[in-house]
Amino acid sequence: MKFDDAAMRVIDVLVSVIAIIFFAPLMVIIALLVFAADPGPVLFAHKRIGRGGREFPCLKFRSMAVDADERLRELLRIDATAREEWARDHKLRNDPRITGIGGFLRKSSLDELPQLFNVLRGDMSLVGPRPIVHAEAERYGRYLIDYCAVRPGITGLWQVSGRNDVTYRRRVAMDVTYSRKRSTKMNLRILAITVPSVVLAKGSY
């Protein structure tokens, strides 16, 4: 396992450097579009739980309006269905906080390109569980130790298995399976499956 972890770290660094250089022009264009659609910060750094339970700023292109928190509070106050969906999935299928360009970025997963810098820094890996917020930690229960045993990833078993179409309980099971059985071979297989999964945008919203 230690050899696989070391091998994956080498792959993480090499691939993230190459990808950052390759996608740099696209990231500049996306940044300009995000600002034009809703003036404000183009990046959003959300606090997430990483390896060993350490908190880190998970980077994304901002896909929500600058007053997203206020919009969410108001929606949850007046809409019982939205409150139930938020309590169950910590996501909203029809989220009023998302901007027009933000919806496209999420559907295409382009909003996650800045996470390549998280990978380069060592906060994340190319492959691993999706990084969670503190409010989600209780859903893992005794399995949180498995989540914290690895770096969270840009892609992983959950991301190539339906993403938001998968129940949260199933997502936790996938994270535990990955944490306990991960290998370089498994990581490379997940990376290969990620490309068609992103193109088809299955379970992405």
The gap from C-alpha 130 to its chain's centroid, in whole angstroms, comes to: 5
Distances in Å between the Cα of 20 and the Cα atoms of 23, 90, 117, 131, 156 are 5, 30, 8, 20, 20
- pLDDT at site 200: 59
What phi and psi, each to the nearest 5 degrees, are found at residue 77?
A: -70, -35
* Residues of the chain under the 50 pLDDT cut: none
What is this structure's pTM?
Answer: 0.84
pLDDT of res. 199 = 58
How far is the C-alpha of 168 from the C-alpha of 130, rounded, in Å? 12
Domain extents in the chain: 2-62+100-200, 64-97
pLDDT tens track for 35-93: 999 999 999 999 999 999 999 999 999 999 988 888 888 888 888 888 888 888 777 87
